[in-house]
Structure 1
Amino acid sequence: MIQIRRASIADVDELLSISQLTFVQTFGPHNTEQAIKTYLTQNLTLEKLATELVDPRAQFFVAIDNGQMVGYLKVNEFGSQTESGLSNSLEVQRIYVLKKDQSKKVGQELMKLAIKIAHELKVNYVWLGVWENNTKAITFYERFGFRKFAIHTFHMGTHPQNDLLMKLIM
C-alpha cells in the first residue's frame, strides 16, 4: 500500500535521485545526451532541491511503497510558482513517479492530494505545465479534469520545446 507523507530536508538525496531518473526517462529519448546533462546540472541539483524544500510557499510530499520512495509531489502557492500572474491558484510543479511504479496508482494518489490542498487553500484553480510530447501525462491530467489554457516555450539545450499549461477549475 502506498503511503504519502510530507517531505523533509532529510529526503533531499532521494528526491534528487527520483527527479533526475524520471527526467531522463521522460525527456532522454527525445533529446541529446548533452542537452539532458546540461539541464540536470542547471536545474535539478541538490542545492536547488534543498532551497525548494525550505520555501514556505512550496510543499513536497513523498510516496513510499514497502519502505522505498517511489515518487513525489511538489506544489507551489502564489509567489513561488514558475509562471507569473496566476494569482489565487496552486501550481502542481512536479508529480514524479518512477517508471517501474507507475502502474501502482501513485500518481493518482499524489494528484488527489494536490487537489485536496487546493480545496483547503480555497484557490480558484490548480494548474500545471506538461511537455506537449508527454501524451501519457496529458491523458492522466485530462482524466482529472485539467484543460489546456496556454503554451509555454522552454529550451532543452538549444532546442525550443513547448509545455502545455493546463488548469482545473475548483
Structure 2
Amino acid sequence: MTMTIKECTIEDLRELQSISVETFTETFKHHNSAEHLNAYLEKAYNLNKLEQELANPSSQFFFVYIYQEVAGYLKINTGDAQSEVMGDDSLEVERIYVKKKFQKHGLGKNLMNKAVEVAKEQKKEKIWLGVWEENENAIEFYKKKGFFQTGAHSFYMGDDEQVDLIMTKILY
C-alpha cells in the first residue's frame, strides 16, 4: 500500500470539507442524534470556517493518501489557534481522522508521527488533544502513543454538551 502525507492548501478546501464531514459522520453518527450531528457539521465544516482555518498561519492540515485517494487527515494548531490556552510550548492535535475503509492500516500512527515531527521542528515541549470520553478505541490508541489524561473540557455536539478528555504527550 503506497501512503503519502501532503500539507493542504486553499486549493484543497472542498476535498477537506468532504473528508471532514465523511469521517466525522462515520465516527459519531451512531452515538448522536441526526439533529445534533447535522448542527455540528454545519458549524464546524462549512466552507467559510474551513477557509479561515486553512488561512491561519498557526494551523496546518495534512492529507494522508493511499495511492491517489485521500484516506484521512490531520489538523494541528499552535499559539492562539489552540482550542484551549496551553501555552507556546504546546502543539494541539485538533483533528485526526481516517476513513473507515482505511482504518487498521497504520495511517493514524503515520499522521500522529507527522504531528510529533512538526512539534519537534517547532521546538514544542508537548502535544495535547481532546478525545470524547466514550471513544475507547481512540483513547487506547493515544495511550499507546504515550499520551496520558491531564484534564477534561466540554465539547458541544449541536446543543448536546459532551466531555472530552484532554490527553498530553511530553516530548522533551
Q: If the length of structure 2 is used for normalisation, what is the TM-score?
A: 0.95
CA–CA separation in structure 2 for the residues paired with 1:62 and 1:49: 14
AA aligned to 2:113 is K
Deviations 1:76-131 (A, max 9, x none): 01111001243310001111110110122111111001001111111110000011
**How many aligned positions are there?**
170
CA–CA separation in structure 2 for the residues paired with 1:113 and 1:78: 18
Is 1:96 aligned to residue 97 of structure 2? yes
CA–CA separation in structure 2 for the residues paired with 1:37 and 1:144: 31
Question: Any residues of structure 2 matched to 1:39-118 within 5 Å, and which?
Answer: 39-118=40-119
AA aligned to 2:59 is A
AA aligned to 1:76 is N
Q: 1:101 to 1:43 in 2, by over 3 A?
A: same
AA aligned to 1:110 is L
CA–CA separation in structure 1 for the residues paired with 2:141 and 2:26: 17
* Residue 50 of structure 1: how far off its partner (Å): 1.1
CA–CA separation in structure 1 for the residues paired with 2:150 and 2:87: 12
Q: If the length of structure 1 is used for normalisation, what is the TM-score?
A: 0.96
3-state SS of 2:91 partner? strand
Contact conserved, 1:146 with 1:167, CA < 8 A, in 2? yes
What percentage of residue pairs aligned between the two structures are identical? Answer: 42
3-state SS of 1:162 partner? strand
* Residue 154 of structure 1: how far off its partner (Å): 2.0
* Residue 32 of structure 1: how far off its partner (Å): 0.6
Contact conserved, 1:146 with 1:168, CA < 8 A, in 2? yes
CA–CA separation in structure 1 for the residues paired with 2:43 and 2:11: 22
CA–CA separation in structure 1 for the residues paired with 2:159 and 2:92: 26
Contact conserved, 1:26 with 1:134, CA < 8 A, in 2? no
Is 1:165 aligned to residue 166 of structure 2? yes
Structure 1 alignment gaps of length 5 or more: none
Contact conserved, 1:153 with 1:163, CA < 8 A, in 2? yes
CA–CA separation in structure 1 for the residues paired with 2:121 and 2:132: 28
